[in-house]
Copies of this chain bind each other. A is one copy, B any other.
């Protein structure tokens, strides 16, 4: 009944958090990656530090489909609390691995799957002394069993263990032994490998496995950001952790230990964005990583920055809202809040990375755009992209890159200038020239969130005020031409059906497009990477009379932005929504489109 699934299956781990399973699971994933087979790992963890259920899902896909697939071929059920639920999740023909140290309730069975018991606890208790080690090694023991069952290359695993524990060699032997225990037990008691197994390939060359937050942090370092301000919040915290450690490595004077950066843990998010604005006012590149609640708290200052025209880079690693919501689940539900943050007439530039490589590239772009446009730019990531390890193209860097600091007058220019007026639109692109404090007396002006005229003076005059806010609209037009273009994938035989999506929905949509193609349905795909929308988005929308907007929120927020900010008739847009908090899977998209197209036919 179980068919072969070489390099095309899902292994899921059910653990208890705080027991060290995370490192074991990702080690296993890394091993498969090194065998040249594309993989991805999704971590479903609780908003808690220790003792609650946590799951890890590894998808192995020779075809390179790395979204969630909805199936589970091998379940490693290490948590008795959730055993029943985990058992039911296994796809027919699949395998379940459990710790047979304790007799398993006979009720907990299914005859359409293979259930394998490994006495993990017993083996580890017999083999290891300290309680802590015994707990940790149980994880490595099931890794060992899987090496046998999935036919992994044990040399790769051994090498990985040596690398991971390079810093404390003492641990290396224990881990190797644990793996060996599990491996031998599996070999002796089961028929290895399983039909779901890994075969070496060469499909991961030029790729890396990295989480989006780390890549974002690298982008901030390479863009030349010197000031980082933040208030810790899941799932954005690792952005600043990574930024700090990279700076410690690359921005610290070996002799004096002096730092060429300054990271400030603010008292809250209102202060964090304020610190960023104080820094960019003075010409430093500055950023703050946060999540939904932070965006709400920053909204007053975001409106200020829009009106006073100060650069700022905000990284919104989105989680499930509203309010505190589910801090350890993913969603794309801050689009409206970010796009129109703050009272009054305001609009903000948004960027949508869809994989870690883009987190890196768009982070750099965010700083250039913020400086060029003199306005906040919000990098819209999310928990799935930010905290999970994704297989992505190697990051590349052009050493010829120099930051675009936008229109800034230096001392010499000010010296020779007749006069300086902060908000004059000399070039007709809606962008005025700015100056930094401390540079030249002629450059002095007031940054203010209150009414001002084009010369920078305070005003309560209707005409003068209007001149300024109307120019801001011209600047918005300019922005639409400067932001990163959408990635458009069109098919020669496409039937005028298109899909639009942003960010981490990409793998699911891409897989869905392929799946539909196999069914002979050819849809075009426009992955938007920025707001405001560029002309290419308008063109795509105009060229399709049926457009599906795939997004991970309840209220169709991307569709709302398309409706408001493009000329596309809203009747052409159909929503495909996924907002339960787990990353969107390809099935959802395929089914939604098939149903809709069905209706279209039957109607």
Contacts and interface: CB of A to CB of B under 8 A. Distances in A.
Interface in A309-362: 320-329, 331, 333-334, 336-338, 340-347
Contacts of A101: none
A469 to B, nearest CB: 6
A423 B28 CA distance: 42
A549 to B, nearest CB: 13
A154 to B, nearest CB: 36
Given A450-B323, A555-B345, A303 B296 contact: yes
A56 interface: no
Nearest to A47: B460
A586 B50 CA distance: 66
Given A306-B322, A331-B344, A342-B323, A580 B450 contact: no
Contacts of A553: 344-345
Contacts of A535: none
A293 interface: yes
Contacts of A296: 299-300, 303, 341-343
A307 B325 contact: yes
A474 interface: no
Nearest to A331: B344
A336 to B, nearest CB: 5
A309 to B, nearest CB: 11
Contact of A564 (B304, B331, B451, B560): B560
A343 B292 contact: yes
Nearest to A554: B345
A237 B375 CA distance: 32
Given A450-B47, A563-B563, A343 B347 contact: no
A582 interface: yes
Contacts of A341: 296
Nearest to A557: B345
A64 to B, nearest CB: 26
A308 interface: yes
Interface string A433-457: 0000000000000001111000000
Given A320-B451, A320-B465, A579 B337 contact: no
A59 to B, nearest CB: 18
Interface string A549-584: 000011101001001100001110000000111100
Contacts of A300: 293, 296-297, 323
Contacts of A570: 563, 569-570
Nearest to A476: B555
A466 interface: yes
Interface string A456-474: 0000101101100110010
A209 interface: no
A333 B304 contact: no
Contacts of A346: 321-322
A295 interface: yes
A400 B344 CA distance: 40
Nearest to A302: B296
A117 interface: no
Contacts of A274: none
Contacts of A571: 569
B344 A469 contact: no
Contact of A345 (B343, B460, B462, B579): B579
A119 interface: no
A195 B76 CA distance: 95
Contact of A465 (B299, B304, B326, B463): B326
A326 B580 contact: no
B325 A581 contact: no
Contact of A308 (B323, B340, B462): B323
Given A460-B329, A569-B570, A303 B323 contact: yes
B340 A334 contact: no
Interface in A523-559: 553-555, 557
Interface string A211-236: 00000000000000000000000000
Give the residue among A292, A307, A343, A470 with the most B Cβ atoms within 10 A.
A343
A557 B555 CA distance: 18
A434 to B, nearest CB: 17
A449 B325 contact: yes
A240 to B, nearest CB: 19
A36 interface: no
A105 to B, nearest CB: 23
A283 interface: no
6 contacts: A296-B300, A297-B300, A307-B325, A462-B581, A466-B580, A560-B564
